[in-house]
Amino acid sequence: MKRNMEKKILNNTARLAVLAAFFINGAVMATWVSRIPAIKERLDLSEGELGIVLLGMSIGVLASLSLAGGLIARFGSSKITLIGALVMCAALPLLAMMPNAFLLWAALALFGGMMSMMDISMNEQAVLVERMAGKPLMSSFHAAYSVGGLAGALIGSGMASISGVSTLLHFIIIMLFFGAAVVVAYRFLLPSVPVAPQEKQPVFSLPERALWGLGAIAFCSAISEGAISDWSAVYLTQVMHSNASMAALGFAAFSMTMTMGRLFGDALIKKWSPSAIVRLGGLAAGLGLLVIVLAKQPGIALVGFALAGIGLANVIPMVFSAAGNFPGISAGAGIAGVATIGYAGFLAGPPIIGMIAENTSLRIALILVTVLAISLVFSGKAIPQDNKMLTSEGALD
């Protein structure tokens, strides 16, 4: 009885710490997203130039994903979560200070690399907590990320509406607050043990072939989510002709409904199969993006962003949980492998959308994203029907 009580306390404190890590990651990411229009205007970037600049973040993300599994195996996911978070926070003010597109590209590569390093390591922590609890919890962790995204977007909207508050000051405040918060959370993360020397995997590794199906699902979801993250504010500003405060609400609406969807995700998986949830989500996301590209008024576009958020809410949590529990592959390597394939969407998305927008319009560019979101209706069948790793052996209740 005493042992079970201690185990419950450990699981609860670790769960809160992992929830905090997800929240911080989402809030810092949304802080950058909310001020993209201001930085675009300050550097006088065209849509095509902005697309190339955003490619810097995508390259940083992809390069970091290839290293994450090996680094986590050597040092443990708790330490990599802390390092990734601190460097990500420290890189944030650099984004507001860069004097030209080239240096902004480099700063975004660092920012994106640390963001994804933290992403993979905190997802391994989530898998460990999920296993200890013996029940689905992944959607609730990703809900914390969405809450963080919503908070970051709303703070960004507020900061953008206050005269005298520069982007740099905004970013410094966020850096200091969340940098301190992640140091506190680190003390309660689960002490994942690095693997023995003879079992260590290479620091750099490519995804296992068995993970490619899950990676395809993650790819379509990531490029859809990335398009909304990177282009929602620009779309509402330049296509919908809204002000900076209204433009920040596009990502806020997306984050709000994504949060709501993820809060119910762990309950939904007890009733429906992960495959069904992903396929229905793809349909909803596709319809939401269609509303966005057809909308004539900003208010209608916000409805589309909200619907897309509901649709994409549980796709990545389902895929990461399946990858983290994939037979014969460590949690960190499984998540990193799927994320490497999936987040290639972040690599391909910004320049493709930017180039299409440059030659046609941003509205037309988002039609491509709509098609990819709808494709989840078909590719979603690749996800396992249940999560066999969450057995009664690990349950606490």
Total Cβ atoms within 10 A of residue 386: 13
CA distances from 241 to 108, 157, 234 (A): 27, 16, 9
pLDDT at 110: 96
| Residue pLDDT, tens place only, 86-115 | 999 999 999 999 999 999 999 999 999 999
The answer to whether residue 157 sits within a structural domain is: yes
What is the DSSP secondary-structure string of 78-144?
HHHHHHHHHHHHHHHHHHHH--SHHHHHHHHHHHHHHHHHHHHHHHHHHHHHHHHHTS--HHHHHHH
Domain interval for residue 45: 2-189+210-387
Number of structural domains in the chain: 1
pLDDT at 13 over 80: yes
pLDDT at 6 over 60: no
pLDDT at 342: 79
* Cα radius of gyration rounded to whole Å, the chain: 20
Q: What percent of the chain has pLDDT over 70?
A: 89
pLDDT at 199 over 60: no
Across 32-36, 60-64, 391-395, least confident range? 391-395
pLDDT band at 386 (very low <50, low <70, confident <90, very high): low
pLDDT (mean) for 220-235: 84
pLDDT (mean) for 376-396: 61
The answer to whether residue 200 sits within a structural domain is: no
pLDDT (mean) for 176-197: 83
pLDDT at 387 over 70: no
pLDDT (mean) for 201-230: 75
The answer to whether residue 162 sits within a structural domain is: yes
The answer to whether residue 234 sits within a structural domain is: yes
| Residue pLDDT, tens place only, 309-329 | 999 999 988 888 888 777 777
| Residue pLDDT, tens place only, 338-371 | 887 877 776 677 678 878 888 888 888 899 889 9
The answer to whether residue 269 sits within a structural domain is: yes
The answer to whether residue 204 sits within a structural domain is: no
Contact by Cβ (8 Å): 326, 15: no
Mean of pLDDT over the chain: 84
pLDDT (mean) for 72-81: 91
| Residue pLDDT, tens place only, 291-310 | 999 988 888 999 999 999 99
The answer to whether residue 12 sits within a structural domain is: yes
Of the ranges 49-63, 226-240, 307-321, which is most confident? 307-321
pLDDT band at 146 (very low <50, low <70, confident <90, very high): confident
Q: The domain spanning residue 286 has which CATH number?
A: 1.20.1250.20
Q: How far apart are CA 174 and CA 396, in angstroms?
A: 37
Dihedral sign from CA coordinates of 114, 117, 123, 124: negative
Burial class (CB within 10 angstroms; exposed 0-12, middle 13-18, buried 19+) of 351: middle
| Residue pLDDT, tens place only, 120-132 | 999 999 988 988 8
Q: How far apart are CA 26 and CA 29, in angstroms?
A: 5
pLDDT at 380 over 70: yes
Q: Where are the alpha helices (DSSP H) in the chain?
A: 2-34, 36-43, 47-75, 77-97, 101-133, 138-161, 167-186, 212-234, 244-263, 265-268, 274-294, 298-312, 315-324, 331-342, 344-359, 362-374, 376-379
pLDDT at 397 over 50: no
The answer to whether residue 197 sits within a structural domain is: no
Return all residues near 222 (Cβ < 8 A) that are at least 6 apart.
Answer: 316, 342, 343, 344, 345, 346
